[in-house]
Amino acid sequence: MEVRVFDNDVERALKILKNKLSKSGFFKELKLRRAYEKPSVKRKRKALEARRRVAKAARRKKWSPR
């Protein structure tokens, strides 16, 4: 991942970097890896995430702007 700094504006570049890392799921992955997660809990979490993704996709498909 690369972020370019223009006119020595480091704060803006950091903001852009954090935004990119957040959208890629980096911070979520870090949080999950901080502690051991039992396989049963991991399965349940992944199933819940999948259900949420499917429901969100269904909501988006159901509603279409004209």
Residues 27 and 56 in one domain: no
What are 46-57's pLDDT values in tens digits?
999 999 999 999
Split into its structural domains, the chain has a count of 2
As a whole number, mean pLDDT of residues 36-46 equals: 96
Residues 18 and 28 in one domain: yes
- Encode 15-54: b = buried (16+ Cβ within 10 Å), e = exposed: eeeeeebeeeeeeeeeeeeeeeeeeeeeeeeeeeeeeeee
Could you tell me the residue range of the domain that residue 21 belongs to?
1-35
Residues 63 and 49 in one domain: yes
Residues 20 and 40 in one domain: no
Label residue 61 by pLDDT band (50, 70, 90). confident
Residues 31 and 53 in one domain: no
Cα–Cα dist 49/37, whole Å: 15
Share above pLDDT 70 across residues of the chain, in percent, rounded to a whole number: 94
Label residue 66 by pLDDT band (50, 70, 90). low
Q: Is the pLDDT of residue 1 over 90?
A: no
